[in-house]
Structure 1
């Protein structure tokens, strides 16, 4: 009777009863929050398959010893429903770059060593400097800063080349993410073979002495195909091709995996040892700092804040708002947007009001089904959804009873 009564109420409020009967769980607080705010989520919940929405939400509770425990909930989580992960793949790559430095354990080799990217073919880029840093030096540390501050594609590409797709696949599989596939650079036009072949890299100390040299690598890994075709057409050479757009051989990582990777960074002590990244306390502090601060708070690299505004890479709770809506809230996250998909993977904490939670979401903003036409509804659909979802969860957390204080 309870479930029937709730469904009747939802129909009265104007929501589609068939969709909700399939997707609504009265015992799931995430579902309750969505149905409580039809003014924000009615359009999406009326036709959730069209927007390919997936959400993961983790409530965090602490005991008297400040030990965190987790309750995870989801909406439409479906590993068989492909979404393009865009820049969210930069998060595990940044973490693996630090892990590889630690594993190499070469005297003098650190995240701050000068990293020179050479080439083994005409298809590969050569990188000798990093213009927006104080000293112009390309380093693992500076690339990671750029990844989290402004989601820099070139920074990701350099770390991808340092790691190589085989190392990435091996490491993510060992950590419990066997279906994750990161096998290409971002925003560069290369063949699959060129994507799988990575550059030679050299590391130097501040005096110019060679510390470590890594030769060019050709991938020998076996990667699952991503035989997904979406939409009804795509633009190519200025012309419309009336055939679904293929994501064959694109990157893939599940939303829940991204959610758990972030959780392992924020709560390494509450993560199984095999699933943790091999990072030092200094590494964790460094990563979390640049996950959270705004571009304007960085002096090296430095950014034009008229373009890279404070909330440039903060979608949940903020959307496309340039003004920080919740100044007391800290958001540790990684966003992504490409091919009409908008994503954010975030840990949200408000120590003033004793609120903390993990929230990850993806939505497709391509209502006309045409790819590469630059007509994605990020501003009218995606950003408002991310803002309203984050605010709805945050407000719900403000009212949640029985929590103990966060002790930092």
Structure 2
């Protein structure tokens, strides 16, 4: 019997074929999971294509998912905090809540919301909480798209304990990151920094690291905690778990974002990424995407309520034909997103015809 993932990738559709015909340059990695239910038991069958923890890709915003989980866990351990507690980061004028930060992370992949959670957690604590659950490696070493990205000391949070009382959290000192010793850690042939072109590969050794296997394992534990022994589940209350899953599939328009700029599939690459039309209401995608440095990644649980279909996919692709990083010339719309969208549709069609 043909491996269903190989079947999807052998499609004659040009959106797939274009990538598969020049596979070496795209650094594709995919894990696809079929889900079967036997009584109360959930059974996972994984299929991999080129998944390799030692082959580096830049995870971009996918690291916001573990940040949200770790923040909820930490809130759980502090009596004076809830998801609705108001706070602001020292030096920041915006007051927010933990629940708002989490919804912004999933609805539009908000960098500032993510960085606030990193200030709350610290990098070491975030990484430890995720790895403690047996998911595999993760290394969040820096914040995203901000001038203090690499700071090892977090900024204090000013937390509203009630309407009149505030408390300040202490700065957290984190361990300096050690350079990653992985294959493909240096990429391309050049990069821009401070408006100058450097004609040498771009070095990702001090960047964040969150491989496909770890992403997929985190997703499984959030969607199906009951499929794992207690020590491998995240320490979230039922209310927190429900809130997190809701945030993962809520579309930007439902939160009041402008639907023309933030269309339904704005951060849903698989199945719908190449189309700005409204998504069907009966398909819910619980996911987190990342896109930066020419790398596109989506880690998703796709659930079609009408046809009773559910499956998981984590997929990444690098689209940087000129081999230059930081030049903003990446083939996201021409190659990367069409590939991921079509991959999602091919797998969906396989699921539609699969005997359960």
TM-score normalised by length of structure 1: 0.83
**Distance change in 2, residues 1:360/1:47 (3 Å):** same
Residue number in structure 2 paired with 1:319:
273
Cα shift at 1:39: 3.5
Residue number in structure 2 paired with 1:186:
144
Any unmatched runs of 5+ in structure 1?
1-25, 119-125, 130-136, 404-408
Residue number in structure 1 paired with 2:164:
208
Residue number in structure 2 paired with 1:72:
46
Residue from 113, 119, 127 that aligns with 1:161: 119
> Is the Cα contact below 8 Å between 2:136 and 2:214 reproduced in 1?
no
Residue from 199, 211, 226 that aligns with 2:155: 199
Residue number in structure 2 paired with 1:22:
none
Cα shift at 1:206: 4.1
Cα shift at 1:252: 0.3
**Structure 2 residue 321 is the aligned partner of structure 1 residue 367:** yes
The equivalences for 1:8-407 within 5 A come to: 27-37=2-12, 39-63=14-38, 65-104=39-78, 106=79, 108-118=80-90, 126-129=91-94, 137-190=95-148, 192=150, 194=151, 196-210=152-166, 212-219=167-174, 221=175, 223-226=177-180, 228-298=185-255, 302-401=256-355, 403=356
Cα shift at 1:312: 1.0
CA distance, structure 1, for counterparts of residue 93 and residue 234 of structure 2: 28
**Distance change in 2, residues 1:191/1:115 (3 Å):** closer
Cα shift at 1:38: 5.1
CA distance, structure 2, for counterparts of residue 69 and residue 231 of structure 1: 40
Cα shift at 1:241: 1.4
Cα shift at 1:208: 2.5
Cα shift at 1:174: 1.2
Cα shift at 1:222: 5.9
Cα shift at 1:390: 0.3
**Distance change in 2, residues 1:306/1:57 (3 Å):** same
What secondary structure does 1:374 align onto?
Answer: coil
> Is the Cα contact below 8 Å between 2:192 and 2:327 reproduced in 1?
yes
> Is the Cα contact below 8 Å between 1:317 and 1:325 reproduced in 2?
no
> Is the Cα contact below 8 Å between 1:85 and 1:252 reproduced in 2?
yes
CA distance, structure 1, for counterparts of residue 228 and residue 321 of structure 2: 38
CA distance, structure 1, for counterparts of residue 67 and residue 164 of structure 2: 27
Q: Deviations over 1:220-274 (max 9, x none)?
A: x364412521000112233321110111210001111111111111101112322
Which 10-residue stretch deviates more, 68-77 or 223-232? 223-232
TM-score normalised by length of structure 2: 0.94
CA distance, structure 2, for counterparts of residue 276 and residue 257 of structure 1: 14
> Is the Cα contact below 8 Å between 2:137 and 2:214 reproduced in 1?
no
Count of residues in correspondence between the two structures:
353
CA distance, structure 2, for counterparts of residue 178 and residue 332 of structure 1: 21
Higher RCO (C-alpha 8 Å, min separation 6): 2
> Is the Cα contact below 8 Å between 1:98 and 1:279 reproduced in 2?
yes
The Cα RMSD (Å) is 1.7
CA distance, structure 1, for counterparts of residue 42 and residue 278 of structure 2: 28
